[in-house]
Amino acid sequence: MRSDLMKKALERAPHRSLFKAMGYTDEEISRPMIGVVNSANEIIPGHIHLDTITEDVKAGIRLAGGTPIEFPAIGVCDGIAMGHKGMKYSLASREVIADSVEIMATAHPFDGLVMITNCDKIVPGMLMAAMRLNIPTIFISGGPMLAGRHNGEAVDLITVFEGVGKVKSGAMTDGELKELEDSACPGCGSCAGMFTANSMNCVTEALGMGLPGNGTIPAILAARRRLAKEAGMQIMELLKKDIKPRDIATLDAFKNAIAMDMALGCSTNTVLHIPAIAHEAGITLDLDIFDKISQETANICYLSPAGPHHLEDLDAAGGVQAVMKEISKLGAIYTDALTVTGKTVGENIKDAAIKNSTVIRSVEEPYSKEGGIAILRGNLSPDGCVVKQSAVAPDMKVNEGKARVFDSEEEAFDAILGGKINAGDVVVIRYEGPKGGPGMREMLSPTSAIVGMGLDKSVALLTDGRFSGGTRGAAIGHVSPEAAEGGPIGLIMEGDVISIDIPNKKDRAESGQRRTGKAEESLQSITAED
Protein backbone atom coordinates (compact mmCIF):
# COMPACT_ATOMS: atom_id res chain seq x y z
CA MET A 1 0.00 0.00 0.00
CA ARG A 2 1.11 3.56 -0.73
CA SER A 3 0.46 4.51 2.90
CA ASP A 4 3.13 2.01 3.98
CA LEU A 5 5.61 4.81 3.21
CA MET A 6 4.43 6.56 6.37
CA LYS A 7 3.44 3.69 8.66
CA LYS A 8 5.25 0.39 8.00
CA ALA A 9 8.62 -0.94 9.19
CA LEU A 10 10.81 -0.36 12.23
CA GLU A 11 11.83 3.09 11.01
CA ARG A 12 8.21 4.26 11.03
CA ALA A 13 7.66 3.76 14.77
CA PRO A 14 7.79 7.57 15.30
CA HIS A 15 5.21 8.01 12.56
CA ARG A 16 2.89 5.44 14.13
CA SER A 17 3.34 7.17 17.46
CA LEU A 18 2.03 10.39 15.92
CA PHE A 19 -1.02 8.58 14.56
CA LYS A 20 -1.65 7.14 18.03
CA ALA A 21 -1.47 10.65 19.46
CA MET A 22 -4.63 11.34 17.42
CA GLY A 23 -6.38 8.22 18.70
CA TYR A 24 -5.78 5.85 15.80
CA THR A 25 -5.53 2.19 16.85
CA ASP A 26 -3.10 -0.37 15.45
CA GLU A 27 -6.03 -1.88 13.52
CA GLU A 28 -6.88 1.48 11.91
CA ILE A 29 -3.24 2.11 11.08
CA SER A 30 -2.95 -1.30 9.43
CA ARG A 31 -5.87 -0.68 7.08
CA PRO A 32 -5.76 1.24 3.76
CA MET A 33 -5.72 4.94 4.56
CA ILE A 34 -8.13 7.06 2.51
CA GLY A 35 -7.76 10.82 2.39
CA VAL A 36 -11.15 12.51 2.63
CA VAL A 37 -10.99 16.03 1.21
CA ASN A 38 -13.73 18.07 2.87
CA SER A 39 -14.40 21.53 1.40
CA ALA A 40 -17.07 22.42 3.97
CA ASN A 41 -17.26 26.02 5.15
CA GLU A 42 -19.78 28.57 6.39
CA ILE A 43 -19.59 31.02 3.46
CA ILE A 44 -20.90 28.86 0.57
CA PRO A 45 -24.50 27.54 0.55
CA GLY A 46 -23.32 24.54 -1.46
CA HIS A 47 -20.77 23.68 1.24
CA ILE A 48 -22.56 24.54 4.47
CA HIS A 49 -23.75 20.93 4.82
CA LEU A 50 -20.64 19.09 3.62
CA ASP A 51 -19.64 18.02 7.14
CA THR A 52 -22.68 15.73 7.06
CA ILE A 53 -21.73 14.37 3.63
CA THR A 54 -18.19 13.84 4.92
CA GLU A 55 -19.40 11.79 7.89
CA ASP A 56 -21.40 9.62 5.48
CA VAL A 57 -18.36 9.12 3.24
CA LYS A 58 -16.24 8.15 6.24
CA ALA A 59 -18.91 5.69 7.35
CA GLY A 60 -18.81 4.10 3.90
CA ILE A 61 -15.03 3.81 3.99
CA ARG A 62 -15.14 2.11 7.40
CA LEU A 63 -17.91 -0.24 6.22
CA ALA A 64 -15.64 -1.37 3.41
CA GLY A 65 -12.57 -1.86 5.62
CA GLY A 66 -10.66 1.38 5.20
CA THR A 67 -9.49 4.14 7.54
CA PRO A 68 -10.77 7.61 6.55
CA ILE A 69 -8.53 10.59 7.27
CA GLU A 70 -10.16 13.97 6.73
CA PHE A 71 -8.47 17.19 5.68
CA PRO A 72 -9.88 20.50 4.38
CA ALA A 73 -9.91 22.53 1.18
CA ILE A 74 -10.79 26.19 0.71
CA GLY A 75 -13.66 27.50 -1.39
CA VAL A 76 -14.93 30.81 -2.78
CA CYS A 77 -18.64 31.53 -3.20
CA ASP A 78 -18.83 33.15 -6.61
CA GLY A 79 -22.24 34.67 -5.89
CA ILE A 80 -20.99 36.44 -2.77
CA ALA A 81 -17.68 37.38 -4.44
CA MET A 82 -19.53 38.81 -7.46
CA GLY A 83 -19.29 42.46 -8.47
CA HIS A 84 -16.34 43.52 -6.31
CA LYS A 85 -12.63 42.88 -5.80
CA GLY A 86 -13.32 39.42 -4.39
CA MET A 87 -14.11 38.07 -7.86
CA LYS A 88 -10.49 38.66 -8.88
CA TYR A 89 -9.60 35.79 -6.55
CA SER A 90 -12.21 33.29 -7.66
CA LEU A 91 -10.61 31.71 -10.73
CA ALA A 92 -7.17 31.83 -9.09
CA SER A 93 -8.55 29.79 -6.19
CA ARG A 94 -8.82 26.80 -8.54
CA GLU A 95 -5.04 26.52 -8.67
CA VAL A 96 -4.70 27.04 -4.92
CA ILE A 97 -7.14 24.16 -4.32
CA ALA A 98 -5.34 21.88 -6.77
CA ASP A 99 -1.96 22.69 -5.25
CA SER A 100 -3.14 22.25 -1.65
CA VAL A 101 -4.70 18.83 -2.30
CA GLU A 102 -1.55 17.75 -4.14
CA ILE A 103 0.57 18.92 -1.19
CA MET A 104 -1.53 17.10 1.40
CA ALA A 105 -1.74 13.84 -0.55
CA THR A 106 1.98 13.80 -1.34
CA ALA A 107 3.21 14.79 2.11
CA HIS A 108 0.91 12.11 3.53
CA PRO A 109 0.83 9.25 1.00
CA PHE A 110 -2.76 8.09 1.18
CA ASP A 111 -3.83 4.94 -0.63
CA GLY A 112 -6.84 6.66 -2.17
CA LEU A 113 -8.87 9.86 -2.03
CA VAL A 114 -12.51 10.85 -1.79
CA MET A 115 -13.07 14.42 -2.98
CA ILE A 116 -16.10 16.07 -1.33
CA THR A 117 -16.91 19.14 -3.32
CA ASN A 118 -19.76 21.15 -4.79
CA CYS A 119 -19.18 24.63 -6.17
CA ASP A 120 -17.55 26.52 -9.00
CA LYS A 121 -13.75 26.39 -8.68
CA ILE A 122 -13.64 23.69 -6.04
CA VAL A 123 -14.80 20.94 -8.43
CA PRO A 124 -12.25 21.63 -11.21
CA GLY A 125 -9.49 22.35 -8.68
CA MET A 126 -9.97 18.93 -7.09
CA LEU A 127 -10.27 17.23 -10.49
CA MET A 128 -6.96 18.81 -11.51
CA ALA A 129 -5.35 17.50 -8.32
CA ALA A 130 -6.77 14.02 -8.94
CA MET A 131 -5.22 13.91 -12.40
CA ARG A 132 -1.84 15.07 -11.07
CA LEU A 133 -1.72 12.57 -8.20
CA ASN A 134 -3.23 9.67 -10.17
CA ILE A 135 -4.08 7.49 -7.19
CA PRO A 136 -7.51 5.82 -6.82
CA THR A 137 -10.00 8.68 -6.38
CA ILE A 138 -13.75 9.19 -6.39
CA PHE A 139 -15.83 12.39 -6.26
CA ILE A 140 -19.03 13.07 -4.36
CA SER A 141 -20.70 16.48 -4.57
CA GLY A 142 -22.99 18.03 -1.98
CA GLY A 143 -25.77 18.22 -4.56
CA PRO A 144 -27.88 21.04 -5.95
CA MET A 145 -30.15 23.42 -4.07
CA LEU A 146 -33.90 23.20 -4.63
CA ALA A 147 -35.46 26.03 -6.60
CA GLY A 148 -37.28 28.65 -4.58
CA ARG A 149 -40.91 29.63 -5.04
CA HIS A 150 -42.15 33.19 -5.52
CA ASN A 151 -45.71 34.07 -6.55
CA GLY A 152 -46.25 30.48 -7.58
CA GLU A 153 -43.23 30.32 -9.88
CA ALA A 154 -39.85 28.60 -9.57
CA VAL A 155 -37.03 31.09 -8.90
CA ASP A 156 -33.32 30.94 -8.15
CA LEU A 157 -30.34 33.16 -7.43
CA ILE A 158 -30.28 34.56 -10.98
CA THR A 159 -33.86 35.75 -10.53
CA VAL A 160 -32.58 37.93 -7.70
CA PHE A 161 -29.65 39.28 -9.72
CA GLU A 162 -32.05 40.18 -12.52
CA GLY A 163 -34.44 41.70 -9.98
CA VAL A 164 -31.91 44.48 -9.30
CA GLY A 165 -32.28 45.68 -12.88
CA LYS A 166 -36.05 45.34 -12.68
CA VAL A 167 -36.18 47.64 -9.66
CA LYS A 168 -34.03 50.20 -11.48
CA SER A 169 -36.32 50.05 -14.54
CA GLY A 170 -39.49 50.31 -12.44
CA ALA A 171 -40.67 46.78 -13.29
CA MET A 172 -40.36 45.65 -9.66
CA THR A 173 -40.66 47.38 -6.30
CA ASP A 174 -38.12 47.28 -3.50
CA GLY A 175 -40.60 45.27 -1.45
CA GLU A 176 -41.05 42.68 -4.20
CA LEU A 177 -37.28 42.32 -4.50
CA LYS A 178 -37.07 41.76 -0.73
CA GLU A 179 -39.67 38.98 -1.00
CA LEU A 180 -37.69 37.44 -3.86
CA GLU A 181 -34.44 37.75 -1.92
CA ASP A 182 -36.06 35.84 0.97
CA SER A 183 -37.42 32.99 -1.15
CA ALA A 184 -35.04 32.40 -4.09
CA CYS A 185 -32.46 30.28 -2.26
CA PRO A 186 -34.48 28.04 0.10
CA GLY A 187 -31.66 25.98 1.59
CA CYS A 188 -28.29 24.31 1.22
CA GLY A 189 -26.83 23.10 -2.07
CA SER A 190 -25.20 24.46 -5.20
CA CYS A 191 -27.46 27.10 -6.81
CA ALA A 192 -30.45 25.45 -8.44
CA GLY A 193 -29.89 26.10 -12.17
CA MET A 194 -27.39 24.80 -14.69
CA PHE A 195 -24.84 27.30 -13.49
CA THR A 196 -21.11 26.56 -13.16
CA ALA A 197 -21.25 24.46 -9.98
CA ASN A 198 -23.92 22.10 -11.25
CA SER A 199 -22.35 22.11 -14.71
CA MET A 200 -19.08 20.86 -13.25
CA ASN A 201 -20.77 18.28 -11.03
CA CYS A 202 -22.57 16.91 -14.08
CA VAL A 203 -19.29 17.01 -16.03
CA THR A 204 -17.67 14.99 -13.23
CA GLU A 205 -20.37 12.34 -13.54
CA ALA A 206 -20.15 12.24 -17.34
CA LEU A 207 -16.35 12.07 -17.16
CA GLY A 208 -16.73 8.94 -15.06
CA MET A 209 -15.21 10.35 -11.86
CA GLY A 210 -18.48 10.47 -9.87
CA LEU A 211 -21.17 7.85 -9.32
CA PRO A 212 -24.46 8.07 -11.27
CA GLY A 213 -26.53 10.76 -9.55
CA ASN A 214 -23.51 12.81 -8.50
CA GLY A 215 -24.56 15.79 -10.60
CA THR A 216 -28.28 15.95 -9.92
CA ILE A 217 -29.54 14.39 -6.67
CA PRO A 218 -30.70 17.38 -4.55
CA ALA A 219 -28.64 18.29 -1.50
CA ILE A 220 -31.46 17.81 0.99
CA LEU A 221 -32.52 14.30 -0.08
CA ALA A 222 -31.54 11.18 1.85
CA ALA A 223 -30.51 9.76 -1.52
CA ARG A 224 -27.58 12.20 -1.47
CA ARG A 225 -26.41 10.83 1.89
CA ARG A 226 -26.76 7.27 0.65
CA LEU A 227 -24.71 8.17 -2.42
CA ALA A 228 -22.01 9.56 -0.13
CA LYS A 229 -21.84 6.26 1.75
CA GLU A 230 -21.69 4.39 -1.57
CA ALA A 231 -18.81 6.63 -2.69
CA GLY A 232 -16.97 5.81 0.54
CA MET A 233 -17.42 2.11 -0.07
CA GLN A 234 -16.60 2.36 -3.77
CA ILE A 235 -13.19 3.95 -3.19
CA MET A 236 -12.16 0.68 -1.58
CA GLU A 237 -13.20 -1.18 -4.74
CA LEU A 238 -11.19 1.24 -6.87
CA LEU A 239 -8.20 0.64 -4.60
CA LYS A 240 -8.64 -3.14 -4.83
CA LYS A 241 -8.82 -3.00 -8.64
CA ASP A 242 -6.12 -0.28 -8.85
CA ILE A 243 -8.32 1.95 -11.01
CA LYS A 244 -6.79 5.42 -11.17
CA PRO A 245 -8.10 8.77 -12.49
CA ARG A 246 -6.06 8.63 -15.69
CA ASP A 247 -7.48 5.16 -16.42
CA ILE A 248 -10.90 6.80 -16.39
CA ALA A 249 -10.26 10.32 -17.70
CA THR A 250 -9.12 9.38 -21.20
CA LEU A 251 -9.64 11.48 -24.33
CA ASP A 252 -12.86 9.55 -24.99
CA ALA A 253 -14.08 10.32 -21.47
CA PHE A 254 -13.41 14.04 -21.93
CA LYS A 255 -15.32 13.95 -25.22
CA ASN A 256 -18.21 12.32 -23.34
CA ALA A 257 -18.12 15.13 -20.79
CA ILE A 258 -18.13 17.81 -23.50
CA ALA A 259 -21.00 16.13 -25.36
CA MET A 260 -23.05 16.00 -22.17
CA ASP A 261 -22.08 19.64 -21.54
CA MET A 262 -23.54 20.57 -24.94
CA ALA A 263 -26.69 18.49 -24.47
CA LEU A 264 -27.46 20.12 -21.11
CA GLY A 265 -26.48 23.67 -22.09
CA CYS A 266 -23.89 24.02 -19.35
CA SER A 267 -21.91 27.06 -18.21
CA THR A 268 -19.38 28.69 -20.54
CA ASN A 269 -16.92 28.29 -17.65
CA THR A 270 -16.67 24.62 -18.61
CA VAL A 271 -14.63 25.78 -21.62
CA LEU A 272 -12.04 27.05 -19.12
CA HIS A 273 -12.16 24.14 -16.69
CA ILE A 274 -12.38 21.01 -18.84
CA PRO A 275 -9.16 21.78 -20.81
CA ALA A 276 -7.35 22.60 -17.54
CA ILE A 277 -8.35 19.23 -16.07
CA ALA A 278 -7.39 17.44 -19.29
CA HIS A 279 -4.01 19.18 -19.27
CA GLU A 280 -3.26 17.68 -15.86
CA ALA A 281 -4.11 14.27 -17.34
CA GLY A 282 -1.66 14.84 -20.21
CA ILE A 283 -4.43 15.46 -22.76
CA THR A 284 -4.73 18.55 -24.98
CA LEU A 285 -8.21 19.92 -25.65
CA ASP A 286 -8.57 23.03 -27.80
CA LEU A 287 -11.56 25.17 -28.73
CA ASP A 288 -11.96 23.31 -32.01
CA ILE A 289 -12.94 20.14 -30.12
CA PHE A 290 -15.69 22.03 -28.28
CA ASP A 291 -16.89 23.54 -31.56
CA LYS A 292 -16.90 20.19 -33.36
CA ILE A 293 -18.76 18.37 -30.58
CA SER A 294 -21.25 21.25 -30.29
CA GLN A 295 -22.10 20.94 -33.97
CA GLU A 296 -22.65 17.19 -33.59
CA THR A 297 -24.62 17.15 -30.29
CA ALA A 298 -28.21 18.27 -29.86
CA ASN A 299 -29.22 20.54 -26.97
CA ILE A 300 -32.01 18.49 -25.36
CA CYS A 301 -32.43 20.26 -21.99
CA TYR A 302 -33.55 23.80 -21.25
CA LEU A 303 -32.41 24.45 -17.71
CA SER A 304 -32.19 27.80 -15.93
CA PRO A 305 -30.97 30.33 -17.03
CA ALA A 306 -31.87 29.22 -20.57
CA GLY A 307 -35.24 27.75 -19.62
CA PRO A 308 -37.69 27.08 -16.79
CA HIS A 309 -36.30 23.81 -15.43
CA HIS A 310 -33.92 23.25 -12.51
CA LEU A 311 -31.63 20.49 -11.33
CA GLU A 312 -34.35 18.85 -9.24
CA ASP A 313 -36.37 18.53 -12.47
CA LEU A 314 -33.42 17.04 -14.35
CA ASP A 315 -32.85 14.53 -11.57
CA ALA A 316 -36.50 13.43 -11.53
CA ALA A 317 -36.43 13.15 -15.33
CA GLY A 318 -33.57 10.65 -15.33
CA GLY A 319 -30.47 12.78 -14.70
CA VAL A 320 -27.14 12.75 -16.47
CA GLN A 321 -27.31 9.03 -17.24
CA ALA A 322 -30.57 9.45 -19.20
CA VAL A 323 -29.12 12.42 -21.10
CA MET A 324 -26.01 10.43 -22.01
CA LYS A 325 -28.10 7.47 -23.16
CA GLU A 326 -30.23 9.71 -25.36
CA ILE A 327 -27.33 11.49 -27.07
CA SER A 328 -25.57 8.15 -27.53
CA LYS A 329 -28.11 7.68 -30.34
CA LEU A 330 -26.16 10.40 -32.17
CA GLY A 331 -22.87 8.56 -31.67
CA ALA A 332 -21.85 11.32 -29.25
CA ILE A 333 -20.92 8.99 -26.37
CA TYR A 334 -17.99 6.58 -26.13
CA THR A 335 -19.73 3.77 -24.29
CA ASP A 336 -16.54 1.76 -23.66
CA ALA A 337 -15.11 4.46 -21.37
CA LEU A 338 -14.40 3.24 -17.83
CA THR A 339 -16.01 4.91 -14.78
CA VAL A 340 -15.61 4.86 -10.99
CA THR A 341 -18.39 2.30 -10.80
CA GLY A 342 -15.81 -0.15 -12.17
CA LYS A 343 -18.12 -0.51 -15.17
CA THR A 344 -18.19 1.19 -18.56
CA VAL A 345 -20.43 4.10 -19.52
CA GLY A 346 -22.43 1.70 -21.66
CA GLU A 347 -23.08 -0.59 -18.70
CA ASN A 348 -24.03 2.37 -16.50
CA ILE A 349 -26.56 3.84 -18.93
CA LYS A 350 -28.05 0.53 -20.06
CA ASP A 351 -31.16 0.85 -17.90
CA ALA A 352 -31.35 4.67 -17.86
CA ALA A 353 -34.53 6.17 -19.24
CA ILE A 354 -36.12 9.56 -19.82
CA LYS A 355 -38.94 9.94 -17.28
CA ASN A 356 -40.11 13.39 -18.38
CA SER A 357 -39.78 14.27 -22.05
CA THR A 358 -40.48 17.93 -21.33
CA VAL A 359 -37.32 18.20 -19.23
CA ILE A 360 -35.16 15.87 -21.34
CA ARG A 361 -36.21 15.90 -24.97
CA SER A 362 -35.40 13.23 -27.52
CA VAL A 363 -32.66 13.84 -30.07
CA GLU A 364 -35.39 13.73 -32.71
CA GLU A 365 -37.11 16.76 -31.15
CA PRO A 366 -34.32 18.77 -29.49
CA TYR A 367 -34.41 22.37 -28.40
CA SER A 368 -31.59 22.86 -30.90
CA LYS A 369 -29.72 20.57 -33.26
CA GLU A 370 -26.48 22.12 -31.98
CA GLY A 371 -25.10 22.10 -28.46
CA GLY A 372 -25.61 24.75 -25.83
CA ILE A 373 -22.21 26.42 -26.29
CA ALA A 374 -20.80 28.02 -29.45
CA ILE A 375 -17.24 29.10 -30.24
CA LEU A 376 -16.97 32.26 -32.34
CA ARG A 377 -13.99 33.68 -34.20
CA GLY A 378 -13.50 36.88 -36.15
CA ASN A 379 -11.41 40.01 -36.40
CA LEU A 380 -12.49 40.93 -32.87
CA SER A 381 -11.54 37.55 -31.40
CA PRO A 382 -9.01 35.86 -33.71
CA ASP A 383 -8.18 33.29 -31.01
CA GLY A 384 -11.84 32.65 -30.24
CA CYS A 385 -14.59 33.57 -27.80
CA VAL A 386 -17.52 31.70 -26.27
CA VAL A 387 -21.27 32.14 -25.89
CA LYS A 388 -24.02 30.07 -24.29
CA GLN A 389 -26.11 30.04 -27.45
CA SER A 390 -28.91 28.06 -25.81
CA ALA A 391 -29.61 31.09 -23.58
CA VAL A 392 -29.64 33.67 -26.41
CA ALA A 393 -32.95 34.98 -27.71
CA PRO A 394 -33.50 33.97 -31.37
CA ASP A 395 -33.61 37.61 -32.54
CA MET A 396 -30.17 38.24 -31.00
CA LYS A 397 -28.29 35.38 -32.63
CA VAL A 398 -27.51 37.61 -35.60
CA ASN A 399 -27.03 41.14 -34.37
CA GLU A 400 -25.30 44.41 -35.19
CA GLY A 401 -24.93 47.49 -33.05
CA LYS A 402 -22.75 50.37 -31.98
CA ALA A 403 -20.06 49.73 -29.38
CA ARG A 404 -20.38 51.21 -25.91
CA VAL A 405 -16.89 50.77 -24.52
CA PHE A 406 -15.92 50.34 -20.86
CA ASP A 407 -12.57 49.46 -19.33
CA SER A 408 -13.99 47.79 -16.23
CA GLU A 409 -17.06 45.88 -15.06
CA GLU A 410 -17.96 48.61 -12.57
CA GLU A 411 -18.12 51.31 -15.27
CA ALA A 412 -20.39 49.18 -17.44
CA PHE A 413 -22.65 48.17 -14.53
CA ASP A 414 -23.15 51.79 -13.47
CA ALA A 415 -23.98 52.79 -17.05
CA ILE A 416 -26.54 49.98 -17.44
CA LEU A 417 -28.32 50.73 -14.16
CA GLY A 418 -28.02 54.45 -14.89
CA GLY A 419 -30.12 54.09 -18.04
CA LYS A 420 -27.25 55.02 -20.34
CA ILE A 421 -27.45 51.86 -22.46
CA ASN A 422 -30.07 51.81 -25.20
CA ALA A 423 -31.63 49.18 -27.43
CA GLY A 424 -29.23 48.26 -30.23
CA ASP A 425 -26.07 48.99 -28.25
CA VAL A 426 -23.26 46.45 -27.87
CA VAL A 427 -21.62 46.77 -24.45
CA VAL A 428 -17.88 46.07 -24.61
CA ILE A 429 -16.12 45.39 -21.29
CA ARG A 430 -12.37 44.97 -21.62
CA TYR A 431 -9.26 44.75 -19.44
CA GLU A 432 -11.11 42.11 -17.39
CA GLY A 433 -9.22 39.08 -18.75
CA PRO A 434 -6.83 36.80 -16.83
CA LYS A 435 -4.05 39.40 -16.95
CA GLY A 436 -6.04 42.58 -17.44
CA GLY A 437 -8.44 42.05 -14.53
CA PRO A 438 -6.39 40.50 -13.20
CA GLY A 439 -8.29 37.33 -12.46
CA MET A 440 -10.87 37.16 -15.30
CA ARG A 441 -13.89 38.21 -13.25
CA GLU A 442 -17.38 36.94 -13.98
CA MET A 443 -19.75 39.54 -15.43
CA LEU A 444 -23.02 38.34 -13.88
CA SER A 445 -23.94 41.72 -12.43
CA PRO A 446 -23.93 43.61 -15.77
CA THR A 447 -25.49 40.77 -17.75
CA SER A 448 -28.25 40.35 -15.18
CA ALA A 449 -28.78 44.11 -15.13
CA ILE A 450 -29.29 44.05 -18.91
CA VAL A 451 -31.93 41.35 -18.50
CA GLY A 452 -33.57 43.10 -15.56
CA MET A 453 -33.74 46.38 -17.46
CA GLY A 454 -35.58 44.57 -20.26
CA LEU A 455 -32.72 44.93 -22.75
CA ASP A 456 -31.67 41.29 -23.21
CA LYS A 457 -33.47 41.04 -26.58
CA SER A 458 -31.85 44.20 -27.92
CA VAL A 459 -28.44 44.64 -26.26
CA ALA A 460 -25.40 42.37 -26.60
CA LEU A 461 -22.33 42.28 -24.37
CA LEU A 462 -18.77 41.28 -25.23
CA THR A 463 -15.87 40.94 -22.81
CA ASP A 464 -12.40 39.49 -22.43
CA GLY A 465 -13.61 38.50 -18.97
CA ARG A 466 -15.98 35.61 -18.35
CA PHE A 467 -19.52 34.93 -17.26
CA SER A 468 -21.34 33.13 -14.51
CA GLY A 469 -23.13 29.99 -15.59
CA GLY A 470 -26.25 31.98 -14.69
CA THR A 471 -25.69 34.53 -17.43
CA ARG A 472 -28.21 34.61 -20.26
CA GLY A 473 -28.66 36.74 -23.35
CA ALA A 474 -26.20 37.62 -26.13
CA ALA A 475 -23.27 37.62 -23.73
CA ILE A 476 -20.01 36.73 -25.43
CA GLY A 477 -16.95 36.16 -23.27
CA HIS A 478 -13.35 35.00 -23.22
CA VAL A 479 -12.62 37.31 -26.19
CA SER A 480 -9.05 36.39 -27.09
CA PRO A 481 -6.44 37.75 -27.16
CA GLU A 482 -7.48 39.90 -24.23
CA ALA A 483 -6.99 43.66 -24.29
CA ALA A 484 -4.07 43.47 -21.84
CA GLU A 485 -2.21 41.30 -24.36
CA GLY A 486 -2.84 43.68 -27.25
CA GLY A 487 -5.96 41.94 -28.56
CA PRO A 488 -8.21 43.75 -31.06
CA ILE A 489 -10.85 44.30 -28.37
CA GLY A 490 -8.47 46.89 -26.92
CA LEU A 491 -8.73 48.94 -30.14
CA ILE A 492 -12.52 49.22 -30.22
CA MET A 493 -13.77 52.80 -29.91
CA GLU A 494 -17.11 54.19 -28.83
CA GLY A 495 -19.48 54.01 -31.79
CA ASP A 496 -17.64 51.31 -33.75
CA VAL A 497 -19.99 48.83 -35.38
CA ILE A 498 -19.92 45.33 -33.88
CA SER A 499 -21.48 42.42 -35.75
CA ILE A 500 -22.32 39.09 -34.12
CA ASP A 501 -23.33 36.01 -36.11
CA ILE A 502 -23.72 33.08 -33.74
CA PRO A 503 -25.10 30.57 -36.30
CA ASN A 504 -22.07 31.14 -38.51
CA LYS A 505 -19.70 31.36 -35.51
CA LYS A 506 -18.35 34.84 -36.32
CA ASP A 507 -17.82 38.24 -34.77
CA ARG A 508 -16.67 41.38 -36.52
CA ALA A 509 -15.75 44.96 -35.73
CA GLU A 510 -15.69 47.89 -38.16
CA SER A 511 -14.69 51.50 -37.75
CA GLY A 512 -14.30 54.55 -39.93
CA GLN A 513 -12.76 56.53 -37.08
CA ARG A 514 -9.20 57.80 -37.15
CA ARG A 515 -6.74 56.30 -34.73
CA THR A 516 -3.19 57.33 -34.01
CA GLY A 517 0.09 55.50 -33.50
CA LYS A 518 -0.10 51.73 -33.07
CA ALA A 519 -3.89 51.84 -33.13
CA GLU A 520 -3.80 53.32 -36.63
CA GLU A 521 -1.39 50.60 -37.73
CA SER A 522 -3.82 48.00 -36.42
CA LEU A 523 -6.89 49.52 -38.11
CA GLN A 524 -6.50 47.30 -41.14
CA SER A 525 -6.73 44.14 -39.03
CA ILE A 526 -9.84 45.48 -37.29
CA THR A 527 -11.76 46.33 -40.46
CA ALA A 528 -10.52 43.55 -42.76
CA GLU A 529 -12.89 40.85 -43.96
CA ASP A 530 -12.54 37.55 -42.09
Length of the chain (residues): 530
Distance CA 94, CA 270 (A): 13
Residues 388-392: contacts with CB under 8 Å, at least 24 apart = 388/265, 388/267, 388/268, 388/306, 388/467, 388/471, 388/472, 388/475, 389/502, 390/265, 390/299, 390/302, 390/306, 391/265, 391/305, 391/306, 391/471, 391/472, 391/473, 392/472, 392/473, 392/474, 392/502
Backbone angles phi, psi at 66, to 5 degrees: -110, 170
Within 8 A by CB and 6+ apart from 202, the residues are 194, 215, 216, 260, 261, 264, 266, 320
Distance CA 11, CA 5 (A): 10
- Structure letter (DSSP) for residue 428: E
Q: Show which residues are catalytic.
A: 468
**CA-based nearest residue to 203, from 265, 156, 147, 247:** 265
Rg (CA), the chain: 24
Distance CA 468, CA 442 (A): 6
Give 3-state DSSP helix, strand, coil % of the chain, rounded to 5. Answer: 45, 15, 40
**CA-based nearest residue to 336, from 254, 277, 263, 253:** 253
Backbone angles phi, psi at 154, to 5 degrees: -75, 135
**CA-based nearest residue to 454, from 180, 82, 172, 150:** 172
Q: What is the DSSP string of 341-409?
A: TSSBHHHHHTT---S-TTTS--TTS-SBSS-S-EEEEESS-TTEEEE-GGGS-GGGSEEEEEEEEESSH
